[in-house]
Chain A
Amino acid sequence: MYRFASFDEPLLNKLPQRKTKISTQSPHIPEKLRRSSPPKIPNLEEQQVVRHFFRLSQMNYGIENGTYPLGSCTMKYNPKVCEDVAGWREFTDIHPYQDESTFQGTLQILYELEELLKKITGMDAFTFQPSAGAHGEFLGMLLVRAYHELRGEDRNEIIIPDTAHGTNPASAKMAGFEVIEIPSNSEGTVDLEALEKVLSDRTAAFMLTNPNTLGIFEDRILDIERMVHNAGALLYYDGANLNAILGIARPGDMGFDIVHLNLHKTFATPHGGGGPGSGPVGVKKLLEDFLPVPRIRKKGDRYILDYDLPHTVGKIRDFYGNIEVCIKAYVYLLMMGRRIRDVAEISVLNSNYMKEKLKRSGFFDFPHRDLKKHEFVMSCQRLKEEKGLRALDIAKRLLDYGLYPPTIYFPLIVKEAIMIEPTETETKEDLDRYVDALISIAEEDPDIVRSSPTKTPVKRIDEAYAVRNEILTWKDI
């Protein structure tokens, strides 16, 4: 039987502290600016600190604890060697303003990683500066803006399907665009008539995830491409779901002008509990001169940082990006090489395998096109009506089985949505165990399911209380 470790671990400031006498006075600080008393950071022994965080780690679930099939998040195994290499001092102890002749190694990695990503996506140039997917989207929107502005066109609308990630509309809005949302059709793909209706000389770009967040491939992509480009707009690719088509099809060949990738999804770098990630942006030639500076180029056998780019949008953060994440992805890609096609095939096979088994169980409904890619969305609406079980209840009960729940209530167009992405790194036994757990939960006494989880460090949490009471630091307690 599965049980989480559980500790009544006090907050850091409640651990027993050693007595100290600290003076914050220094003649080198202007008198008006001197701190009157030291900041209240507890003074502890190293072993206390280590034990504290060790215990906290044991109350946390990561991909190494077990299956983590969060839809649209691609939680695959993170190879250890990638961590080790990125941690070598030759890579870590480099100052960003060192002379470029003294970090030729890192520049070579970035240059070669760019070449690999170009081949994988069919794009013409990449920048590694975005720190995460949403940061890449924001840069993409800045590129769209700069492109139309230079051509003297006043285009202020971004079109987005109703299945899009929340970051898409948020990024478009941040770059100053108006967002127009269009519905999906009964297949779960873009409704071409709806798209035709909103496309105009005001359209700046259409943002699309392919396969989309329902795990369905947009098979009319070439029609979409033609319509969008005929309207004078650009086509943007959200790379969150690239895992499904690695080595099989390329966004560049589908006519996308801009893509962002998530190295912390598709290319096996760890998610870190919410970063650091990396969201490289790739573009076709027509947008290359708008990318952030510097670009990394090869001159003879030297790598250089090139700041001379005619239409650059400038910077979206300091320096060159989350470099250590790029190094991990590079190591992963050298190990995979041509085998990335196997990644796509098996991630799609695993997903369809789970979908088929769950479908046969008869408890869940599978709207839209039957053939899925690397993830699928099912609805537990019938279980809700018949047994009072919501997607949330099923998710929480999975925790008692020692399994991490899927993404729930997304995309918004599916009622009581459960979105599962197993990835290629799980074994068949893992997939079977997960399917069996979901079926077993559907058959369980609904009261047990609704009162889950019980084997986690805490039971179900009162999130409304947190909103009402605003206890956000230990001073607020």
Chain B
Amino acid sequence: MPFIPNLSLKEEMLKEIGLKDIEELFSDIPEEVRIKDLDLPEPLSEEEVVKRLREIARKNRPFPDLLSFLGGGVKPHYVPSAVKHIISRSEFYTSYTPYQPEASQGYLQAMFEYQSVISELTGMDISNCSLYDMSTSLGEAVRMGYRINRRKKVLIPRSISWERKSTLKNYIKGLPVDLVEIEYDRESGKLNLEDLEDKIDGDTMCLYIENPNFFGIFEEDVDEISSIVHDRGSILIVGVDLLSLALVKPPGEYGADIVISEGRTYGTPMNMGGSSLGIFACRKEYLRNIPGRIIGLTHDLDGNRAFCMTLQTREQHIRREKATSNICTNEALNALALLVYLSILGSEGLVKIAKKNLENARLLHDRLVSLPWFKPRFKGSFFNEFVLESTQDVFYMNRELLKRNIMGGLPLEISFPELKNCLLFGITEVYDDKDVDMLIRSIKEVYHV
């Protein structure tokens, strides 16, 4: 029997501990709640399971068989083979949370390095060892904001994904705070600073911005935004794309107090959106308010360098309902994958890839707007996603493209009714001219040109 070695020793072991029947071990479970007839299938062998899964897998169309130009935060990036090999070391992936630091020095050192790399990229003092994903990182960031200044008004851009907004609403259900949305500038796609000035006040806990934002546009006026926020004594939370930070000023340099990000696809595949990796970094003065695990450097009895989980009195296993968060299991292996990914690229590789993303996005943008059916929707400059407005019904176009094994841009009007027939396109370093050609050719086909 696979995975249950003692099944054949049942009688022998029962006898050794003075029992006659396995039933005796379950005598305290009331008859009324016992399963009378277990309705589950017969077990399959490994070979049979693999065969069945092969059939199921055939019903999926992965990238690039299905060539996706979807924006919205998730895009395919190349993951060097070494990353998968390292995170497949079973000493890493079959271990538990490092509660016994002497037997977990390897993982602990890696997580200390992860914290260091995140802090380098974001320009923040400290980072935790991960949260679930970027949206839950936002939820935790705002909860931390409340612990810090107890203010009641939370400002967020209207232009964030509906899923992130909904997650945030749930994360603050238990707090006496209100969400207020700041408009985006209809021309540039950037945050509307006048609306920000109107809505921010002395009871504002924080402002959250994304840079680049959900429309792919860079928030250029971060220095101004930062002064507006800090003049009111509020907290600035910035959500970033990690890759863009190879070229973009780190939020720490423009006064961000908390920085969050998403690690998914940097070292791990898209996986239909999960698993994910919530990145969370902040200024050191908030250290004791941080959610999640933190690794610190220390020494052992002999004075040798050592690592351990630290400041655990913030955490649920010690503080229970007074903890800064309920999080226990996080996304450790994905944090390791990101660290290995960044180590293999180095700053050199990262800068190169970021530039390739910028170039490919311009190539795709220019080729699309050269067609008669598209024009840019916003004036602001963009990273690797952008919004185009179409003269045509974009749902029809996407349906037709799908028949040609292409996913077109993400229609925005479902979340933003004013952006009718607008599509959010995304592209990365893994695409080449041929891929863009294929999209352009297919669109022309749709419109019989």
Q: Please tell me if the beta carbons of A349 and B100 are within 8 angstroms of each other in the complex.
A: no
Q: Does A61 touch B at the CB level, under 8 Å?
A: yes
Given contacts A57-B86, A473-B119, contact A428 B13 (CB under 8 A): yes
Q: Please tell me if the beta carbons of B4 and A424 are within 8 angstroms of each other in the complex.
A: yes
Given contacts A353-B13, A371-B28, A473-B116, contact A428 B6 (CB under 8 A): yes
List A65-120 residues whose CB lies under 8 Å from chain B: 65, 68, 70, 73, 75-79, 81, 83, 85, 87-99, 101-106, 108-109, 116, 119-120
Q: Does B202 touch A at the CB level, under 8 Å?
A: no
Q: Write the A114-135 contact mask toward B (1 if CB under 8 angstroms, else 0).
A: 0010011000000000011111
Q: Does B180 touch A at the CB level, under 8 Å?
A: no
List B413-445 residues whose CB lies under 8 Å from chain A: none
**Contact stretch, chosen from B87-95, B150-158, B191-199, B367-375:** B87-95
| Most chain B beta carbons < 10 A, residue from A250, A322, A371 | A322
| Most chain B beta carbons < 10 A, residue from A33, A85, A134, A474 | A33
Give every chain A residue within 8 A of B229 (Cβ-Cβ).
none
List B311-342 residues whose CB lies under 8 Å from chain A: 311, 315-323, 325-334, 336, 339-340, 342
Give every chain A residue within 8 A of B110 (Cβ-Cβ).
53, 56
Q: Does A281 touch B at the CB level, under 8 Å?
A: no
Give every chain A residue within 8 A of B223 (Cβ-Cβ).
32
Q: Does A298 touch B at the CB level, under 8 Å?
A: no
Q: Please tell me if the beta carbons of B5 and A275 are within 8 angstroms of each other in the complex.
A: no
Task: State the 6 A-B residue pairs at the shortest beta-carbon distance, nearest first.
Answer: A176-B174, A319-B273, A96-B273, A274-B332, A43-B346, A272-B333
Q: Write the A8-28 contact mask toward B (1 if CB under 8 angstroms, else 0).
A: 010111000100101110101
Give every chain A residue within 8 A of B14 (Cβ-Cβ).
349
Q: Please tell me if the beta carbons of A106 and B60 are within 8 angstroms of each other in the complex.
A: yes
From A23, A356, A474, B113 is in contact (CB under 8 Å) with: A474
**Contact stretch, chosen from A166-174, A193-201, A380-388, A440-448:** A166-174
Q: Write the A424-449 contact mask toward B (1 if CB under 8 angstroms, else 0).
A: 11111000000000000000000000
Q: How far is the CA of A29 from the CA of B383 in the complex (A)?
A: 8
List B292-321 residues whose CB lies under 8 Å from chain A: 293-302, 304-306, 308, 310-311, 315-321
- In the complex, the chain A residue whose C-beta lies closest to that of B220 is A30
Q: Please tell me if the beta carbons of B136 and A316 are within 8 angstroms of each other in the complex.
A: yes
Give every chain B residue within 8 A of A471 (Cβ-Cβ).
296-298
Q: How far is the CA of A61 from the CA of B89 in the complex (A)?
A: 11
| Most chain A beta carbons < 10 A, residue from B19, B53, B274 | B274
Q: How far is the CB of A338 from chain B (nearest CB, A)?
A: 5
Q: How far is the CB of B444 from chain A (nearest CB, A)?
A: 21
Q: How far is the CB of B254 from chain A (nearest CB, A)?
A: 9
Give every chain B residue within 8 A of A96 (Cβ-Cβ).
74, 270, 272-274
- In the complex, the chain A residue whose C-beta lies closest to that of B290 is A472
Known interface pairs A64-B91, A342-B1; 9 further A-B residue pairs with C-beta atoms within 8 A, sorted by A's residue number: A42-B343, A49-B82, A95-B273, A99-B398, A173-B322, A249-B35, A273-B95, A349-B13, A461-B101
From A135, A222, A320, B33 is in contact (CB under 8 Å) with: A222
Given contacts A271-B94, A275-B331, A405-B100, contact A472 B323 (CB under 8 A): no
A-B contact list, 14 entries, CB within 8 Å: A41-B345, A43-B349, A46-B82, A56-B107, A73-B96, A91-B57, A99-B402, A132-B329, A249-B35, A276-B274, A313-B170, A373-B25, A474-B112, A474-B113
Q: Please tell me if the beta carbons of A22 and B97 are within 8 angstroms of each other in the complex.
A: no
Give every chain B residue within 8 A of A477 (Cβ-Cβ).
297
Q: Does A460 touch B at the CB level, under 8 Å?
A: yes
- In the complex, the chain A residue whose C-beta lies closest to that of B270 is A95
Q: Does B222 touch A at the CB level, under 8 Å?
A: yes
Q: How far is the CA of A445 from the CA of B445 in the complex (A)?
A: 83
Q: Please tell me if the beta carbons of A62 and B91 are within 8 angstroms of each other in the complex.
A: yes
Q: Please tell me if the beta carbons of B45 and A12 are within 8 angstroms of each other in the complex.
A: no
Q: Does B348 touch A at the CB level, under 8 Å?
A: yes
Give every chain B residue within 8 A of A63 (Cβ-Cβ).
90, 94-95
Q: Please tell me if the beta carbons of B72 and A97 are within 8 angstroms of each other in the complex.
A: yes
Q: How many residues of B contact A (CB 8 A)?
A: 194
Q: How far is the CB of B355 from chain A (nearest CB, A)?
A: 6
Q: How far is the CB of A257 from chain B (nearest CB, A)?
A: 15
Q: How far is the CB of A371 from chain B (nearest CB, A)?
A: 6
Q: Please tell me if the beta carbons of A428 and B340 are within 8 angstroms of each other in the complex.
A: no
Q: Does B149 touch A at the CB level, under 8 Å?
A: no
Q: Does B163 touch A at the CB level, under 8 Å?
A: yes
From A179, A273, A458, B102 is in contact (CB under 8 Å) with: A458
Q: Does B449 touch A at the CB level, under 8 Å?
A: no
Q: Please tell me if the beta carbons of B120 and A104 are within 8 angstroms of each other in the complex.
A: no
Give every chain A residue within 8 A of B304 (Cβ-Cβ).
458-459
| Most chain B beta carbons < 10 A, residue from A109, A166, A274, A322 | A274
Q: Please tell me if the beta carbons of A250 and B109 are within 8 angstroms of each other in the complex.
A: no
From A39, A335, A424, A467, B310 is in contact (CB under 8 Å) with: A467
Q: How far is the CB of A243 from chain B (nearest CB, A)?
A: 12
Q: How far is the CA of A426 from the CA of B94 in the complex (A)?
A: 15
Give every chain A residue within 8 A of B91 (Cβ-Cβ).
57-58, 60-62, 64-65
Q: How far is the CB of B430 from chain A (nearest CB, A)?
A: 10
Q: How far is the CB of B134 from chain A (nearest CB, A)?
A: 7
Q: Does A254 touch B at the CB level, under 8 Å?
A: yes
Q: How many residues of A contact B (CB 8 A)?
A: 193
Q: Does B148 touch A at the CB level, under 8 Å?
A: no
Give every chain A residue within 8 A of B63 (Cβ-Cβ).
93-95
Q: Please tell me if the beta carbons of B126 and A20 are within 8 angstroms of each other in the complex.
A: no
Q: Please tell me if the beta carbons of B93 and A323 are within 8 angstroms of each other in the complex.
A: no
Q: How far is the CB of A284 from chain B (nearest CB, A)?
A: 15
Q: Please tell me if the beta carbons of A105 and B59 are within 8 angstroms of each other in the complex.
A: yes
Q: Please tell me if the beta carbons of A35 and B245 are within 8 angstroms of each other in the complex.
A: yes
Q: Please tell me if the beta carbons of B329 and A271 are within 8 angstroms of each other in the complex.
A: yes
| Most chain B beta carbons < 10 A, residue from A26, A219, A472 | A472
Q: How far is the CA of A245 from the CA of B35 in the complex (A)?
A: 10
Give every chain B residue within 8 A of A9 (Cβ-Cβ).
109
Q: How far is the CA of A175 from the CA of B173 in the complex (A)?
A: 6
From B16, B103, B104, B175, A176 is in contact (CB under 8 Å) with: B175
Q: How far is the CA of A142 from the CA of B350 in the complex (A)?
A: 40
Given contacts A13-B116, A57-B86, A176-B175, contact A41 B1 (CB under 8 A): no
Q: Please tell me if the beta carbons of A62 and B28 are within 8 angstroms of each other in the complex.
A: no
| Most chain B beta carbons < 10 A, residue from A95, A314, A357, A467 | A95
Give every chain B residue within 8 A of A248 (Cβ-Cβ).
26, 29, 34-35
Given contacts A46-B82, A132-B330, A424-B3, contact A62 B351 (CB under 8 A): no
Q: How far is the CB of A127 from chain B (nearest CB, A)?
A: 13
- In the complex, the chain B residue whose C-beta lies closest to that of A81 is B46
Q: How far is the CA of A70 from the CA of B110 in the complex (A)?
A: 23
Q: Please tell me if the beta carbons of A274 and B293 are within 8 angstroms of each other in the complex.
A: yes
Q: How far is the CA of A369 from the CA of B29 in the complex (A)?
A: 13
Given contacts A24-B247, A337-B43, contact A60 B107 (CB under 8 A): yes
Q: How far is the CA of A465 from the CA of B328 in the complex (A)?
A: 23
- In the complex, the chain A residue whose C-beta lies closest to that of B426 is A95
Q: How far is the CB of A364 from chain B (nearest CB, A)?
A: 16
Q: Please tell me if the beta carbons of B106 and A314 are within 8 angstroms of each other in the complex.
A: no
Q: How far is the CB of B86 from chain A (nearest CB, A)?
A: 5
